[in-house]
Structure 1
């Protein structure tokens, strides 16, 4: 039994070590630290021989403190808080192990003592590992909009109901007074934790709503500014149009064709600058193009667009902006490098899919770029694009058409 106790305590220490890595700041360690860790495990194993709850509890606390002291560093308040949570998780795992023994006694009694112990250890440490994982994950949830984090919130009430139900089924509340009191205290703590988690979840949802509203307001303000600038630019051109006509007529009247040619070239340049100020109808794309207006104008890059949708929901404006901005930056860079003068943008919705396609001139890429293994040649921000697209169960493909000398970026978001 000493061997099984050692395995039990070693798994216990490893789970807490992993738990600490997720919650605390890790410090550099050496081989001596791991020797001390094994020493703690051995001491806790030998302490378990006496089967005294208080002694086992004390050595558990010493193991926690020892692991944190050797491998981690953080505020005392945070360390105490998460050690208490881990202690509660350990107690809950032990209760469930007790219930397992009670329910499945006839089944496990057919095995020898060592195998019985190993089955209970595996079950106990699985429960403890799951609880530790949920605590670690929930501690990092702030304003993350990843759906899986909301799943962590929702899993806690389910687990709480299961734990309290198993305690009631095993008659733990009706056993010896001390154990009954502990179970009732644990039940109260579980209820309080559920209330705190509900408050935390509500706070996260409210923060997310505020973030979305702020992004929408900022986007609308920038779009209106864009429209105003376009209108002002048009008014200015109309105001000066008569002067341009009078000057052209004067050159024609004087038959000064050289000056007329120079003047028309200058006027043409001004018109092209104004034309580069594209309005596609999709405010997110328009804002990105406006942000890159100088680069597009300086390098005489023409934007050809086929935008069929104004709304890209359920993709958030924040996410779409990151994806399109990165692709546009790469397209402009490729145009500059290849002396290209066009970028084609297509945006459409097919069934439950939002499809974005960007085509730009390109002379060559490395052979393995199509598999997204190279992020240094054309794909700056590829990792960010992939990460966002995965959130929407979509896909990102990048293809170099050697015959047409173009690079094609195709992004698909799942709209379902």
Structure 2
């Protein structure tokens, strides 16, 4: 009798252990869907502790409506930890609940197949096996969702990482279900195995998550470094322009004196040549874009100068205000990727070495159009020309991130290519 009581106590401990791992899975899901946290860690831990208590009490509640209300209330408290628009809170809670219910339903179907064709679970522990299956496969599903989030940001997920996300949970499930096949099962060992396997799964997930975050931070740092390079280049252009203007202003009297002499002696050709030399002082300042919008001007001046060095002509049409409600980071990603794509494609050509670039702003929207010729023999994959830019890490963000930025501004992205012309159209809605 005492042994049965001990087994029962360990069974209860195991149930709490499984719920703790389920709570960790829900934590991963919430952090995946809601990036920005607004509470401190202490409040966050308390809210997830309440969730753990709620799902542990779930087994003892017999009325289905109360069960659902308890879970939804817990989700509502969890959303308080994150920055969510008030209008979207209810939708977000129902969406998460739907995801978990859908995954759980699919897992139950899988469990029926496993129980019937692969494992012969001890009938006394069939409920335990079902809960273990749901817990582990739910964790695997949420891990896959989390990895997809990084993919949408343009972060490369290696094949080995995808395999690990699937194999390690499946391996853990295989071990646990194998143990539950025996006729004599010691719940103490079951709990110990579960604890070890759950720790392994959590540690592996955190390692890969840290790697992905590090990679994401590295890309952000490179983009910021690149943006600083653009700004420094723009400041250098402005500095040179000011210095040249000061020099001309300082020498204007001398210049006018020389012109006066040329004109007085009727040496018109010499006077015109002298005026041309004065004009060239301003022309050679390499300021191709001068809209007054320093974010766009700095990027374009740097990229156009880069193109000029490769003997690529850029036909620029720029009609934008000095201030736009678009982050400089987003503009950097869009213009940098599109121009890199165009420059690298044209660099393979001997003729038609020019880019048409139009950036215009009209009421509430910003329109970016870029077109260029490309080698007809080049392959186009995923709406990108098969070129290899110098900075592949930054370029690796590519059109995936442009699409995400376009979505952020409720805009559109159109990629068109004919026999030899490749064009991109970006439309962003801004206030």
Q: What TM-score do you get using the length of structure 1 for normalisation?
A: 0.46
User: Relative contact order (C-alpha < 8 Å, sep 6+): which is higher?
Assistant: 2
Please say which structure displays the higher CA radius of gyration.
Answer: 1
